[in-house]
Amino acid sequence: MNYKAKIIKIAEVTVKLLIVLLGFFIIYKKLFVNQKITDVFHEVINCFSTNRQYFLMLLAFLLVPLNLFMESIKWKLQLKPIENLNNWKSFISIFTGISAGMFFPNRMGNFLGRIFILEKGDRIKASLTTIVGGMAQMIATVSSGLIAYLFFIEKHIILNSLCVCIIIFVMSLIYFNIHILRHVMFFFPKRIIIKTEEYFETFASYSKNELLKILLISFARYFLYTFQFVLLIWSFNIPLTYFDAMIPIAFTYLLMMVIPFITITEIAIRGSVSIMVFEKWFIMNNINTSMGMMVFIASSLLWIFNIAIPAVIGLFLTYHLNFFRNKNEL
């Protein structure tokens, strides 16, 4: 191993070690300092008295691997024009992506933990493919949330329903014609166009069939994630049917998507929004609003299951990432 290779190796190990140490610090601060997550588990112990409650919570937790696996399949489809990633590496990158997301507001750094799993694929193009997956997930979240919103309003229902249909149609139209995004570069100076043209051509690499598959997986993930929330709500004996629980959940996710947050406050904001929406729904359906705190605990557990635990696992998997590559590999 030559001198330059040794320097690169040391730099690689140093970066990975710093990510692991900083990641554990952020997760620890988030769980045990800012949010006092131990209080969540104390509430669970105090509220749970039957095997049924523990079973429902366990079932929600056991659905996490399926959720992550579906996301890995979607990520693999997104990367198809860039690199044919195998299932195992695609699955690993979801964990490292969640870990990286902990470092940025609204978990926007998720893609950074994913693209460094690539062996030869262009990382800039891979970053752009996240826009495709993000749009698909946004359609699932926004369309479901807007439909749920219609159940909260009491006036101008027909007009609002028409607006919701138009919004969903426009989003779908843009998504299935995502290749038009490559024309965005024409608004930039010519020298920038020359340098970026090949990257924006990535958006023209997807067929309608591939886009449909990505969208369907996004909806499947969305309903699986919401079902986990429903299971946790049922585990606290909140008297809601699946349909009655889905409405405030969908509206909560819509609000969470548009509210900016930083990592250390995410669980508090998520819980507060959940309480606000569910208490409104409880009042509309003559349910005791004191159960709002149970919704907060359920929301916190959902975050621990789907974000905190995978983020910790992802930190241990950072050794799979390649931060430095030879130029002939790019």
Residue 330: predicted pLDDT: 45
Would you place residue 321 in the very low, low, confident or very high pLDDT band (cuts 50, 70, 90)?
confident
Residue found under tokens 């606000």: 276
The tokens of 110 are what? Answer: 């998720």
Residue 158: predicted pLDDT: 84
Residue 199: predicted pLDDT: 74
Residue 329: predicted pLDDT: 47
Would you place residue 264 in the very low, low, confident or very high pLDDT band (cuts 50, 70, 90)?
very low
Residue 190: predicted pLDDT: 62
Instruction: Give mean pLDDT, residues 215-221.
Output: 96
Cα distance between residue 33 and residue 43, in whole Å: 17
Residue 260: predicted pLDDT: 63
Q: Of 111-125, 210-224, 252-266, which has the strongest mean pLDDT?
A: 210-224
H-helix or E-strand containing 138? helix 123-149
Give me the residue spans of the domains in the chain.
3-329
Look at residue 105 and tell me whether its pLDDT is greater than 70: no
Q: Of 21-30, 197-206, 311-320, which has the strongest mean pLDDT?
A: 311-320
Residue, of 321 and 225, whose pLDDT is higher = 225
The tokens of 234 are what? Answer: 């049922």
H-helix or E-strand containing 209? helix 208-235
Residue, of 181 and 221, whose pLDDT is higher = 221
Residue, of 181 and 83, whose pLDDT is higher = 83
Q: How many Cβ atoms are within 10 Å of 61's Cβ, its own excluded?
A: 18
Q: How many Cβ atoms are within 10 Å of 329's Cβ, its own excluded?
A: 11
Asked which of 36-50, 151-165, 232-246, 279-293 is least confident by mean pLDDT, the reply is: 36-50
| Residue type present at position 118 | L
Residue 252: predicted pLDDT: 92
Instruction: Give mean pLDDT, residues 164-171.
Output: 94
| Residue type present at position 191 | R
Cα distance between residue 164 and residue 172, in whole Å: 12
**DSSP 8-state class, residue 36:** -
Residue 42: predicted pLDDT: 77
H-helix or E-strand containing 160? helix 157-176
What's the mean pLDDT when you consider all of the chain?
Answer: 84
Cα separation of the two ends of the chain: 21
Q: Cα–Cα distances in Å, from 330 out to 25, 76, 120, 126, 245?
A: 33, 19, 6, 12, 48
Instruction: Give mean pLDDT, residues 210-224.
Output: 96
